[in-house]
């Protein structure tokens, strides 16, 4: 995830309430103000004013950049800087992953956030009820017309079940039609009803290590409907999930899978963080005959307390940083098999060996 993200938006408070509607939200990265992506979701969630006094932006140079995103240059609505929220962070993660997979480098530009309605509430069902209570549909329609004009590729449609809600289906279909027919987006099924329009929270959290979620993410990142291209990755992940499940049962510990390929576990996370990481040598596991395992130390300063014991336990192990600054990897003996049970047994042994080494180090 790119940690340099800034959030800018319009916001209008609803009279005599603590609520409001947030619209034309922009995620800005680096130094560029060029549009590098768009995403359409349900409604604005929990992100709030960055500053306690809720002041509007006044810097002329910044406002010149922001006002290029207002269709009417005489428009005088205030712009505000907001903090982030979990969903906006996941949007950041999704587009960062897309940039990484395509070799684009760090995000540098603006991701536009659009919604099917604009009342700000982290609970979409409550938001719909409040939207109707405050009769915001006319406002939503005016904003929607501008949003359709400004939608640019690459765009991810993540409005989930609202695509099947009678109140919002037509708007969702308009975004879909523009994405498919004008912007040439290829990752979507050309039949509107056949798409799940998975919300980023579901895609990047609940489904991130499941074949359906991995496939959807890869299709978006590479903008293709093809699934054949990703069968190797999906088989790879499925095998890692099986190994992870068995290890969790055997050790009662919290194993994780990072970005669909790295199986690991860590200890002493708040002090001298150390752990195990492991992955296949190639993702085409049917033709692979080895499974790499490493003791990982995430900061070189944290290696000192473990160094003597690790070298004594694994005297022939290679130690390097594999090109990652401040990282230490101790290469454990490779597991010469693709059999899940053999891998599980070996990783289980490495787990308890490491546990013995670190039990006296905090």
DSSP 355: H
Of residues 38 and 227, more confidence is placed in 38
Q: Largest alpha-carbon pair distance within the chain?
A: 72
pTM of the model: 0.77
What three-state secondary structure class fits 198? Answer: coil
Find the mean pLDDT for residues 215-232. Answer: 88
103-112, 131-140, 241-250, 339-348, range with the lowest pLDDT: 131-140
In this structure, the strands spanning 35-41 and 328-331 are unpaired
Most confident listed range (93-107, 132-146, 175-189): 175-189
Residue range(s) of every CATH 3.30.1460 domain in the chain = 235-358
146-155, 185-194, 231-240, 339-348, range with the lowest pLDDT: 231-240
Whole-number pLDDT of residue 235:
81
Residue given tokens 């999704």 in the structure block: 94
For residue 208, pLDDT over 90 is answered with no
For residue 42, pLDDT over 50 is answered with yes
What three-state secondary structure class fits 32? Answer: coil
Tell me the pLDDT tens digit for each residue of 47-64.
Answer: 999 988 999 999 999 999
Tell me the pLDDT tens digit for each residue of 224-282.
Answer: 998 887 887 788 888 888 999 999 999 999 999 887 789 999 999 999 999 999 998 75
Whole-number pLDDT of residue 9:
96
Whole-number pLDDT of residue 325:
83
What is the share, in percent, of the chain residues with pLDDT greater than 90?
70
Find the mean pLDDT for residues 150-179. Answer: 96
- Domain at 235-358: CATH code: 3.30.1460
d(CA 256, CA 121): 31
Exposed/middle/buried for residue 140 (C-beta within 10 Å: 0-12, 13-18, 19+): buried
Summary mean pLDDT of the chain: 91
Whole-number pLDDT of residue 284:
46
């Amino acid at each position: 995830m790119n940690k340099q993200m800034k959030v800018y938006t319009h916001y209008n408070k609803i009279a005599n309430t603590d609520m409001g509607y947030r619209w034309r939200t922009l995620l800005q990265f680096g130094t560029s103000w060029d549009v590098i992506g768009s995403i359409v979701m349900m409604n604005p969630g929990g992100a709030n004013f960055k500053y306690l006094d809720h002041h509007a932006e006044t810097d002329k140079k910044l406002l010149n950049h922001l006002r290029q995103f207002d269709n009417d240059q005489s428009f005088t609505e205030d712009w505000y800087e907001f903090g982030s929220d979990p969903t906006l962070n996941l949007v950041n993660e999704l587009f960062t992953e897309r940039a990484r997979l395509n070799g684009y480098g760090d995000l540098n530009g603006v991701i536009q956030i659009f919604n099917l309605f604009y009342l700000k509430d982290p609970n979409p069902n409550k938001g719909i009820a409040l939207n109707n209570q405050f009769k915001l549909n006319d406002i939503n329609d005016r904003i929607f017309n501008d949003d359709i004009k400004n939608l640019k590729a690459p765009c991810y449609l993540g409005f989930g079940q609202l695509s099947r809600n009678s109140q919002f289906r037509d708007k969702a279909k308009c975004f879909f039609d523009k994405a498919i027919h004008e912007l040439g987006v290829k990752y979507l099924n050309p039949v509107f009803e056949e798409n799940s329009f998975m919300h980023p929270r579901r895609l990047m959290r609940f489904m991130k290590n499941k074949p359906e979620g991995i496939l959807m993410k890869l299709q978006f990142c590479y903008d293709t409907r093809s699934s054949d291209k990703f069968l190797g990755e999906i088989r790879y992940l499925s095998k890692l999930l099986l190994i992870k499940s068995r290890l969790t049962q055997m050790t009662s510990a919290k194993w994780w899978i990072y970005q669909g390929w790295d199986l690991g576990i860590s200890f002493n996370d708040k002090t001298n963080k150390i752990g195990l990481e492991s992955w296949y040598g190639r993702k085409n596991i049917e033709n692979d005959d080895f499974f790499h395992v490493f003791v990982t130390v995430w900061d070189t300063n944290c290696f000192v307390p473990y160094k003597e014991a690790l070298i004594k336990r694994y005297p022939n192990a290679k130690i390097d940083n594999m090109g990652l600054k401040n990282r230490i990897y101790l290469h454990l003996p490779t597991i010469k098999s693709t059999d899940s049970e053999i891998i599980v047994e070996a990783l289980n042994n490495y787990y308890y060996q490491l546990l013995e080494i670190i039990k006296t180090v905090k």
